[in-house]
Amino acid sequence: MERSIETIWKKGFLDSDKLVAPKLNDLYNQKSITIIEKLKRMMKVNVYIILIFAFLNLGLYTALGTPFAGLFILLLLIGVCWRSIKQDKTMKKVDTSLNSYEYLKAFDSWLKLAISNNAKVMRFFYPLLFLAALMPIVHTLKDGAVTNKAIQDSGFQLIYGIPTFAWVIALMIAILMYVFGGKIYRWDVNIVYGRIFKKIEMMLADMEELRS
């Protein structure tokens, strides 16, 4: 006689040993691996993006008549990438044989130290990048017949064909960038990796609660 699905269901589970709940262990094992792998992938992609941008920028700056500024920015960005690759090597030293909690904790400590060290370096990077980025504007103002004449006739004191006050403003912005470089970097990093950092923090908080 044909059995209804209700009967199959009830009878099938009467003596089924498959309803024994699996043991709960390593709740976060896979998750911590996944999240760290994702962060590593993002960091790698970020390095490629910076490199591509640096070379495109060199082309653009050459076209704008300031190849040296473009080259300078290229070198600055290569420096950033080199630093990132170097840090990637130290990241690999984080002991993967640890349990998920300790691994995540070790990774989090490494990440915080890396960000703190980078923030110190970036205090120099941002002002230099800013000043180099101004060069095409300086070049255009100096070389443009109309703009050049306007500047010459303005009566302002000039340095390298540009009013001194403009240099002073640019320098003040660069100094501010130096002062707030660390904060700018943290803000910058947060835009790109903020969601993952938050996830790691949440996971660690959960794991700490689970352990307590």
Partner 1 sequence: MSSDFYQSSILPYAAIVIKICRAYTNTQEDFEDYYQEVCLQIWKSRDNFRGQSEWSTWVYRLSLNVCLTLLRKKKNNRQYFASDSLPETLLEDSQVFTDESLNQLYGAIKQLSEIDRGVILLYLEERSYKQIADIIGTNPNNIGVRIKRIKERLKNLLDGKVN
Number of residues that bind partner 1 (CB under 8 A): 20
User: What is the closest distance, in whole angstroms, from the C-beta atom of residue 27 to partner 1 in the complex?
Assistant: 5
Site membership for partner 1, residue 210 (CB under 8 A):
yes
> Which range in 6-14, 56-64, 79-87, 151-159 contacts partner 1 by CB under 8 A?
6-14
165 counts as binding partner 1 under rule CB under 8 A: no
Nearest to 62 by CA among 136, 7, 124, 168: 136
Secondary structure (DSSP) of the chain: -PPPHHHHHHHHHHT-GGGSPPP---TTHHHHHHHHHHHHHHHHHHHHHHHHHHHHHHHHHHHTT-HHHHHHHHHHHHHHHHHHHHHHHHHTTS-TTS-HHHHHHHHHHHHHHHHHHHHHHHHHHHHHHHHHHHHHHHHHHHH-HHHHHHHHHT---EETTEEHHHHHHHHHHHHHHHHTHHHHHHHHHHHHHHHHHHHHHHHHHHHHHHH-
User: If binding is defined by CB under 8 A, does position 15 make contact with partner 1?
Assistant: yes
Cβ(146)–Cβ(92) under 8 Å? no
Could you tell me the smallest distance in angstroms from the CB atom of residue 51 to partner 1?
A: 24
Q: Does 1 bind partner 1 (CB under 8 A)?
A: no
Q: Binding marks (x or -) toward partner 1, 22..61, rule CB under 8 A?
A: x-x--x--x-------------------------------
155 makes contact with partner 1 (CB under 8 A): no
Is the Cβ–Cβ distance between 28 and 206 less than 8 Å?
A: yes
Q: Determine, following the binding rule CB under 8 A, whether residue 5 of this chain makes contact with partner 1.
A: yes
User: Quick check: 11 binds partner 1 (CB under 8 A)?
Assistant: yes
- Give the binding range for partner 1 (CB under 8 A) out of 3-11, 43-51, 75-83, 133-141: 3-11
Yes or no: say if 73 and 125 are a contact pair by the CB < 8 Å rule. no
Which residue stretch of 16-24, 100-108, 110-118, 134-142 sits at the interface with partner 1 (rule: CB under 8 A)? Answer: 16-24
**93 binds partner 1, rule: CB under 8 A:** no
* Cβ nearer to partner 1, comparing 34 with 117: 34
Binding-site ranges for partner 1 (CB under 8 A): 3, 5-6, 8-9, 11-13, 15-19, 21-22, 24, 27, 30, 206, 210
